[in-house]
């Protein structure tokens, strides 16, 4: 049975995209409940200035809390080398830095063009490795940009190689804007693999146009073993207009478990976590079909066999 890692990004990607700030205790309850359901990796926040994203102001406290949970890989996003230093000090297990393949988006998102961003990645990698931390680069807008439109495949391959040369332990492909389709996912994964090899394992997909799960399956078909998702489909990018909707964790877990993949996640327990988020963010839209429809009648047989 193939093991697939479902990495929960809701406490970071989901919460940075809404105006309200979820209370710290509710975030802790969310993280603890997901870990109890079998989720093995959670991106708990990001080390960005609170003035830019007040939703992430308590990331240091969340890291400290999450590190008390046995078996949980605690991840945070960092925008730059300064954020990497804060992440090391906080004690994360791993960190990732977004590197937009669209230069226009990169400038809007982190105020750096590609050459400047590669220098930042090199310094962040040095800091992470000095602290003994795993350092990943998320290749954002890899499938297209709401500002520039199409992003050439050759650009993504070239910048992926440069990110690895700058010190990334791995690279992941991010459909920041929800532009990907399954055929494109297969092509791009295979193309980047030619320079990254087994240092490409992760897809970060959005369901903006309803193709999230189809794109996930396409990734699985070409050897992807880690899929990011957000509980209730919370998420998007504040600097990419119209880019809403991460893959819904509940729907992804149902699909993977039903297909015979080993996620280690108990779906029934996962569905209960949704109540914590709903109570902490009353009125905030939560998405997903599985929470409403429930699992299939033969779901237990499917996951057993």
Which residues have a Cβ under 8 Å from the Cβ of 168 and sit 6 or more positions away?
121, 125, 135, 136, 137, 199
Catalytic residue, candidates 185, 237, 243, 281: 237
Q: Please report which helix (H) or strand (E) contains residue 5, including its range.
A: strand 5-8
Where does residue 170 fall: left (phi above 0), alpha (psi -120 to 50 degrees), or beta otherwise? beta
> DSSP 3-state assignment of 201?
strand
**Dist CA 67 CA 46 (whole Å):** 15
Query: Phi and psi of 166, rounded to 5°?
Result: -80, -10
> DSSP 3-state assignment of 29?
helix
Secondary structure in 3-state letters for 87-152: HHHHCCCEEEEEEECCHHHHHHHHCCCHHHHHHHHHHHHHHHHHCCCEEEEEEECCCCECCCECCC
Q: How long is the chain?
A: 305
145 is catalytic: no
How buried is residue 301: exposed, middle or buried, by Cβ count under 10 Å (0-12/13-18/19+)?
exposed
Query: Phi and psi of 248, rounded to 5°?
Result: -75, 120
Which residues have a Cβ under 8 Å from the Cβ of 285 and sit 6 or more positions away?
none
Helix then strand count (H, E) for the chain reads 12, 8
C-alpha of 93 from chain center: 15
Active centre residues (catalytic): 237
């Amino acid at each position: 049975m193939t093991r697939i890692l479902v990495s929960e990004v809701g406490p970071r990607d989901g919460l940075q995209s809404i105006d309200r700030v979820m209370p710290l205790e509710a975030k802790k309850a969310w993280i603890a409940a997901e870990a109890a359901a079998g989720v093995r990796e959670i991106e708990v926040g990001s080390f960005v200035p609170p003035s830019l994203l007040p939703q992430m102001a308590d990331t240091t406290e969340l890291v400290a809390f999450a590190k008390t949970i046995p078996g949980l890989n605690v991840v945070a996003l960092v925008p730059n080398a300064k954020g990497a230093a804060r992440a090391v000090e906080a004690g994360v297990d791993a960190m990732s830095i977004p590197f937009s393949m669209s230069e226009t988006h990169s400038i809007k998102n982190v105020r750096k063009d590609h050459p400047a961003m590669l220098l930042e990645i090199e310094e962040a990698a040095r800091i992470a490795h000095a602290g003994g931390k795993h350092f990943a680069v998320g290749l954002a807008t890899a499938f297209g940009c709401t500002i520039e439109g199409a992003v050439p495949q050759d650009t993504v391959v070239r910048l992926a190689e440069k990110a690895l040369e700058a010190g990334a332990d791995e690279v992941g492909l991010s459909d920041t804007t929800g532009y990907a389709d399954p055929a494109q996912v297969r092509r791009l994964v295979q193309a980047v693999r030619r320079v990254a090899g087994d240092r490409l394992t992760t897809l970060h997909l959005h369901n903006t146009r309803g193709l999230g799960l189809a794109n996930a399956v396409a990734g699985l078909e070409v050897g992807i073993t880690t899929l990011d998702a957000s509980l209730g489909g919370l998420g998007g990018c504040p600097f990419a207009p119209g880019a809403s909707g991460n893959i819904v964790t509940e729907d992804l877990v149902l699909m993977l478990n039903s297909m015979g993949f080993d996620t280690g996640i108990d779906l029934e327990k996962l569905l209960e976590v949704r109540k914590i988020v709903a109570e902490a963010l009353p009125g905030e839209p939560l998405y997903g079909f599985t929470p409403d429809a429930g699992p299939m009648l033969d779901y237990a047989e499917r996951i057993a066999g």
